[in-house]
Amino acid sequence: MKSLETDVIVIGGGATGSGVLRDAAMRGYRAILVERVDLGQGTTGRFHGLLHSGGRYVVTDPRSATECAQETAILSKIAADAVEQTGGLFVTTPADDPEYADKFAAACLATDVPVQEIAVAEALRREPRLNPKISRAFAVNDGSVDAWKLIWGNVHSAMEYGAQVLTYHWVTQVLRDGDRVCGVVCRDDVHGGEVRIDADFVINAGGVWAGQIADMAGCPDVQVVPGRGVMIAMNHRLVNTVVNRCDPPGDGDIIVPIHTVCVIGTTDTKVDSPDDLPIPRDEVQQMLDAGEVLVPGFRQSRALHAWAGARPLVKDTRVAADDTRHMSRGMAAFDHLERDGVRGFLTISGGKATTFRLMAQVVVDQMCEQRGDTRPCRTGDEVMPTAREGRNYTVGHRLADREGDRLDDPLICECELVTRSMIEEHLTETPTASFDDIRRQMRLGMGPCQGGFCSMRATGIGHEIGALDAARANDRLRLFLTNRWIGLHTILHGDQVHQTVLDKWIFDGTLDVEHLPQAQEAGQ
């Protein structure tokens, strides 16, 4: 068994885990992050991409609202490349409570969430597809954020401080030495074998899986209930501003423009397992209907892909129930020394992507306290290496990039403007990467054709540069198509049917992918 040694192990490669890694590394700790699959494959990679102005919480959760407003301002600077400053609108549609708007405006003032009421005509000028029957409109500082870029920003920053990241490392044991947690054992799902990592501290940032990890450490009853939310990405940006219903928080009350698409979200259903998230057709219909309230014609627009994410809803009877400070933030930090008498182990869960940096700060502060160190948090002051150009993301940036290189670098994914060299570089560096890993890096296959044209090209490139033999290349292709299909079959109506049929002709009819030789690689 391979073994490693470090100061802190962070379990979980979502926004929170990567934020904890960065925070710990910046405070001078040697840190290793372990993630059971790819970075951002869990909840962080499955939300609608909203960077909260705080507006959504001003009435129901004022403290969260203020924190969101502060964190959004910080993230727009330290992770500029991941954030698009779209701005947001809260609009009162005919389906909303007209009384709420005044409550909303007052609560924004009370919580320091910047807001400005604008004329309905001005809102419609900014967003011409918006329901013309809206009666009030408020401009707020909502933005959208690429969760994957945010995670890699954290990771690259942490690496500059010496941190390490091990993806596809599945924690099978949390090691104990008496009342102290002293490391973990992971299964390496890419190269095989086991890895033992010794450390004086383990931080559980397992999100919706945090309860399972706490169990392994002998700290039972950390109850994280998965709240499944269904979201749908539409083929193009029907709005360029985040548009919210000015109504108490509810299902399908927001459309977020992110990259080339816009996302309607979300539903909220408690489910048993975070690893089994169906996408019920009635919830898909519910989202399309909800979109219609904000943007008439939404139902007829082309839906590209549906997916479900699992919110971590923390329910803890012994500590968190009276820990109102943390519950009010929507985040839950468990001090297992206080709660279970176990040293060297902390759990952070709940919360939202917008406040991940603050969650990391809270839990790393707790670690410092337990260790008796005085090392202040600096994550809010230092720009991530990926954001040093200081420019926020804009939707046109790839089109501008291709303007410069399109004659020399062929397009592989035409929908999302991914070039051959982007894929080649990634596969050369990480030959084990699945096409979904590449997708999370560069949006391969996330556009209208949903991998119909780019996946076979990427397969060919992987084989051509020697990263994959023929059978493995086939497996990667099939796995990618299978995973795309999960998000397609429930939204098949209108234009996406034409696309899917064409894709099927290509893969089944022409390439006969089902019957190509298989390598029987370890699946994901």
Partner 1 sequence: MNDEMRASLDHCVKCTVCEAHCPVAAVTPLFPGPKYVGPQGERFRESGTSVDISLDYCSGCGICTHVCPQDVKIAEINAQARHEMKSRKGISVRDRLISRPMVTGRLSAPVAPIANAVLRNGLARRALSATLRIHRKAPLPASARMTLRRWLRGRTQAPAKRGTIVYFHGCAANFYEVETGRMTIEVLEHLGYRVLTPKQGCCGLPLQSNGLFDDARQHVHSLVSALDGAGHGLPIVASSTSCGLMLKREAHEILGMEDATLASVGARTFDICEFLLDLHDHGELPLDLAPIEMTIPYHAPCQLRGHGIGTPAVELMKLIPGVTVVESNAACCGVAGTYGLKREKYDIAMAVGAPLFNMVRDMHPPLAVCDSETCRWQIATATGVETVHPIALIHRAYGLS
Cβ-based neighbours of 329, under 8 Å, separated by 6 or more? 63, 64, 67, 350, 351, 355, 358
- Residue 89's identity, in one-letter code, is L
Interface with partner 1 (CB under 8 A), residue from 85, 240, 269, 285: 240
Interface with partner 1 (CB under 8 A), residue from 301, 347, 361, 419: 301
Half-sphere exposure of 226 (CA within 13 A, CB side): 22
Does residue 251 contact residue 290 with C-beta atoms inside 8 Å?
Answer: yes
Contact between 465 and partner 1 (CB under 8 A)?
no
Interface with partner 1 (CB under 8 A), residue from 368, 383, 395, 486: 395
For partner 1 (CB under 8 A), the number of binding residues is: 35
Fill in the per-residue mask, 112 to 151: x = in contact with partner 1 (CB under 8 A), - = not in contact.
----------------xx----------------------
Shortest Cβ 411–partner 1 spacing (Å): 8
Given the rule CB under 8 A, which of 71-79, 115-123, 189-197, 441-449 is the region that contacts partner 1? 441-449
Q: How far apart are CA 74 and CA 56, in angstroms?
A: 18
Cβ-based neighbours of 332, under 8 Å, separated by 6 or more? 314, 316, 320, 323, 326, 347, 348, 349, 350, 351
CB atoms within 10 A of CB 270: 11
Contact between 318 and partner 1 (CB under 8 A)?
no
Contact between 309 and partner 1 (CB under 8 A)?
no
Contact between 393 and partner 1 (CB under 8 A)?
no
Task: State whether residue 254 is helix, strand or coil.
Answer: strand
Does residue 79 contact residue 151 with C-beta atoms inside 8 Å?
Answer: no
Interface with partner 1 (CB under 8 A), residue from 235, 244, 349, 354: 235
Shortest Cβ 230–partner 1 spacing (Å): 21
Q: How far apart are CA 412 and CA 453, in angstroms?
A: 8
Fill in the per-residue mask, 248 to 277: x = in contact with partner 1 (CB under 8 A), - = not in contact.
------------xx----------------
- Residue 415's identity, in one-letter code, is C
Task: State whether residue 31 is helix, strand or coil.
Answer: strand
Q: Which sign does the torsion angle of CA 367, 368, 369, 372 carry?
A: positive
Q: Which residue blocks in 79-143 are alpha helix, DSSP H? A: 100-110, 120-126
Shortest Cβ 415–partner 1 spacing (Å): 7
Shortest Cβ 287–partner 1 spacing (Å): 17
Q: How far apart are CA 232 and CA 292, in angstroms?
A: 13
Interface with partner 1 (CB under 8 A), residue from 452, 463, 467, 491: 452
Cβ-based neighbours of 250, under 8 Å, separated by 6 or more? none
Given the rule CB under 8 A, which of 142-150, 320-328, 426-434, 445-453 is the region that contacts partner 1? 445-453
Interface with partner 1 (CB under 8 A), residue from 73, 121, 399, 522: 399
Given the rule CB under 8 A, which of 56-64, 218-226, 410-418, 515-523 is the region that contacts partner 1? 410-418
Cα radius of gyration (the chain): 23
Q: How close are the terminal C-alpha atoms of the chain, in Å?
A: 22
Shortest Cβ 85–partner 1 spacing (Å): 12
Residues that bind partner 1 (CB under 8 A): 128-129, 235-237, 240, 260-261, 297, 301-302, 394-400, 402-403, 406-407, 414-415, 417, 447-449, 452-453, 494-495, 498-499, 502
